[in-house]
Structures are given as structure tokens and as C-alpha cells.
């Protein structure tokens, strides 16, 4: 049996040093605590909304606030963490003045699904950072990235740069490896998109979805928690799309630093692709902590079709 701890031990001296290992152990412990809070949230009255609005203009749920606090505590317990960046914080906050890493996280992704008992998750990434500006680096600089998916099972999914490992929380509270080296199948006939937003899609996305619907055997799934949609894709392939608004080509709903980048890093480590149009998500240079980007990821052949369609559309409008 390989536990999360023994897996991290096997990477010491390689991709992981002692300090990073402590950071990851504390993050794993935070996800255990969040998982526990979620299991009984209705009984504990942790439902509905608070009166607080976060920097995104979204009303926070009690569990958003609690999960954020639990993740911040994991950062405080880790001497090497210099900064924390969170969906629920206006700006980065300094944790330890002599730290060398930033932990960047969405403490509870998919929180609109909370009160209906549907899978939600915690997304995280760790980068080198000694000054506040270091938190605005492109996704290629991620050292580790992962997420916990809180569904019928609690899964912890991690990459230390190469390969993606999936751990499952057992009754004793141990994360036990259940998939070694998860790979995203290169081909798929399953797409995930919020079809109600069709009027805002650009021509590339509209044409891609229309073609998929017209081609026999294609299937659609949309959970409304990116973590849950991503987890399905790590397990059986697929493509996820939260595209730009046609009126604002660089926009989207999902945030670059703590949603798109960690998932993009995991997806590439599992042999898939993650783009924001013509460009890889991991190559986007961030300009602000809560920047939103178009997000398309999953099975490589399918994502490549969309990347090529964006490149062709751009060539078509270039002056002769």
C-alpha cells in the first residue's frame, strides 16, 4: 500500500525537498479537515450564504470561509510558505517573512453545488516566491499542483511535475494511492460545457460543439464544479470548455492562478492539453491575481482540434 506520505518520501531529494514535503503534508491534512466539515455541513448549519462578498463580487458561503481559514492555517504551519493567494482573499498575504514558496488556492471550488450535495473541491499549487510580485508568474513555474475532490469518495490528486497520482481517503484518514500515473486518454467523445451560455460563445466554440452534437456517439456532461469535471477527465478522458465571452476574447469565468494553472499543470503531466485559445494556459503571463481566462482542457487530440481552429480563424482575418 502506498500512502500519500510514503509517496512524498520516495521523492525526497528529487522533486521534493523537506520543506515542500511539509507544505504538502499540511495541505493534505487541510483537505481531510475540509472533507470532514463537508460531510456534516447540513447538520452543523454550515449551509446557505454569508453576508460577505469576496473580491470577485460573489457571495461567500460559510464553507468557503471555513475552507479558506483551514487552508491558511496549513500555510501558517509550514515554515517555508512566504505567501498565500486565495480566491477568497483580495490580495496575497504574507505568511512567513523568511519563506520561499507561495501556496495558491481555491479553497472550495464549485461552491454553488454545496447545498445540493454534489462534488466540490480544493485546488492548489505551489510556486517559488520570496516577494509579492513573484506570485504573478506563468504556470510553467509551478512546482507541484493538485486538488482534492470531495464526492462519494474524497480523492487527492497530485503532480510534482511529471505524472499524476490519485489517492483515496480511507476510513482511518489515510490517503492511499489508488491510481499510479493517471493518463488522460488522447481521444474522447465526451465534452463538458455550460450550454446555456451558447449566445456568448465565439464561432470556433460554436462550430466545435455543433459538430460534436451532429457526430454520432458524442456525449455531454456538466457538473458545475470544475474539479469534478476534471476528475472525470483524469479517469476516463473528455474535454472541458469554459470559453471566452465572444465580446471579450481574453475573458472567461475561471481564474488563471488558482483554477486554470493548477489544473493545466496536472492535465499536461497526465498527457493531456490545456489551452486558452491558441495559447497554452501555462504560457499566459498573469497581470493580476484574480485574472480570468478562457479554459479548455482534456484529451489531447480534441483540444488540438480547437487550438488549430483558433489559429486558422486568426489567419483568416490577417490582412493579405
Binding-site ranges for ligand AHM (CB under 6 A) = 58, 87, 106, 109-112, 194, 224-226, 242, 253
Interaction partner, residue 174 (ligand AHM, Mg ion, none; CB < 5-8 Å by kind):
none
Q: With DSSP H G I counted as helix, E B as strand and the rest as coil, what are the percentages for the chain, rounded to 5?
A: 40, 25, 40
Nearer to ligand AHM, 34 or 160 (CB): 34
In angstroms, give the least distance from the CB of 206 to ligand AHM: 17
Torsion over CA: 205, 273, 160, 223 (sign): positive
Nearer to ligand AHM, 110 or 146 (CB): 110
Residue showing the smallest CB distance to ligand AHM in the complex: 226
Q: Which does 253 bind (CB under 5 to 8 A by kind): ligand AHM, Mg ion, none?
A: ligand AHM
Q: Do the strands 239-242 and 190-192 form a parallel or antiparallel pair, or are they unpaired?
A: parallel
Residue 224, binding choice from Mg ion, ligand AHM, none, Cβ under 5 to 8 Å by partner class:
ligand AHM
Partner in contact with 225, chosen from Mg ion, ligand AHM, none, beta carbon below 5 to 8 Å by kind? ligand AHM
| Shortest CB 259 distance to Mg ion, Å | 5
Answer yes or no: are the C-beta atoms of 221 and 238 closer than 8 Å.
yes
Q: Would you give the DSSP letter of residue 227?
A: H
Smallest distance, ligand AHM to C-beta of residue 117, A? 15
Residue 91 CB, nearest distance to ligand AHM (Å)? 18
Q: How many CB atoms lie within 10 A of CB 189?
A: 15
SS3 318: coil
Q: Among all chains, which residue has been given the C-alpha cell 519563506?
A: 99
Asked if residue 109 binds Mg ion (CB under 5 A), the reply is yes
The H or E element that residue 297 is part of is strand 295-298
Options 94-102, 106-114, 135-143, 244-252: segment touching Mg ion (CB under 5 A): 106-114
Tell the smallest beta-carbon distance from residue 232 to Mg ion (Å). 17
The listed partner (ligand AHM, Mg ion, none) that binds 278, CB under 5 to 8 Å by sort, is none
Nearer to ligand AHM, 129 or 223 (CB): 223
**What, of Mg ion, ligand AHM, none, does residue 170 touch, CB below 5 to 8 Å by kind?**
none
Question: What does the alpha-carbon distance between residue 213 and residue 220 come to, in Å, rounded to a whole number?
Answer: 9
CA dihedral 196, 200, 203, 208 (to 10 degrees): -30
Query: Using CA of residue 190, residue 191, residue 195, residue 201, what is the dihedral sign?
Result: negative
Amino acid at each position: 500500500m502506498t500512502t500519500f506520505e510514503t509517496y512524498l518520501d520516495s521523492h525526497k531529494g528529487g522533486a521534493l525537498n523537506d520543506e515542500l514535503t511539509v507544505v504538502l503534508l499540511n495541505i493534505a491534512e487541510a483537505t481531510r479537515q475540509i472533507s470532514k466539515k463537508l460531510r456534516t455541513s447540513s447538520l452543523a448549519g454550515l449551509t446557505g450564504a454569508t453576508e460577505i462578498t469576496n473580491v470577485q463580487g460573489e457571495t461567500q458561503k460559510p464553507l468557503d470561509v471555513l475552507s479558506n481559514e483551514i487552508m491558511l492555517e496549513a500555510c501558517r504551519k509550514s515554515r517555508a510558505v512566504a505567501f498565500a493567494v486565495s480566491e477568497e482573499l483580495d490580495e496575497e498575504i504574507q505568511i512567513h517573512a523568511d519563506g520561499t514558496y507561495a501556496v495558491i488556492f481555491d479553497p472550495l471550488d464549485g461552491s454553488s453545488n454545496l447545498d445540493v450535495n454534489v462534488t466540490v473541491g480544493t485546488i492548489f499549487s505551489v510556486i517559488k516566491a520570496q516577494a509579492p510580485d513573484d506570485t504573478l508568474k506563468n504556470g510553467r513555474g509551478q512546482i507541484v499542483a493538485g486538488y482534492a475532490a470531495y464526492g462519494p469518495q474524497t480523492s487527492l490528486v497530485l503532480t510534482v511535475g511529471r505524472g499524476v497520482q490519485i489517492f483515496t481517503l480511507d476510513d482511518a484518514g489515510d490517503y492511499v494511492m489508488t491510481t499510479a500515473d493517471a493518463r488522460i486518454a488522447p481521444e474522447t467523445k465526451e465534452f463538458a460545457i455550460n450550454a446555456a451560455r451558447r449566445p456568448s460563445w465565439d464561432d470556433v466554440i460554436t462550430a466545435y460543439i455543433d459538430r460534436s452534437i451532429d457526430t454520432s456517439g458524442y456525449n455531454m456532461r456538466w457538473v458545475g464544479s470544475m474539479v469534478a469535471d476534471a476528475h472525470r477527465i483524469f479517469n476516463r478522458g473528455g474535454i472541458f470548455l469554459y470559453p471566452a465571452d465572444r465580446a471579450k476574447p481574453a475573458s472567461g469565468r475561471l481564474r488563471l492562478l488558482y483554477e486554470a494553472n493548477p489544473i493545466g499543470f496536472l492535465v499536461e503531466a497526465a498527457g493531456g492539453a490545456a489551452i486558452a485559445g491558441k495559447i497554452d494556459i501555462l504560457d499566459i503571463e498573469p497581470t493580476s491575481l484574480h485574472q480570468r481566462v478562457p479554459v479548455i482542457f482534456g484529451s489531447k487530440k480534441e483540444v488540438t482540434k480547437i487550438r488549430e481552429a483558433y489559429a486558422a480563424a486568426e489567419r483568416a482575418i490577417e490582412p493579405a
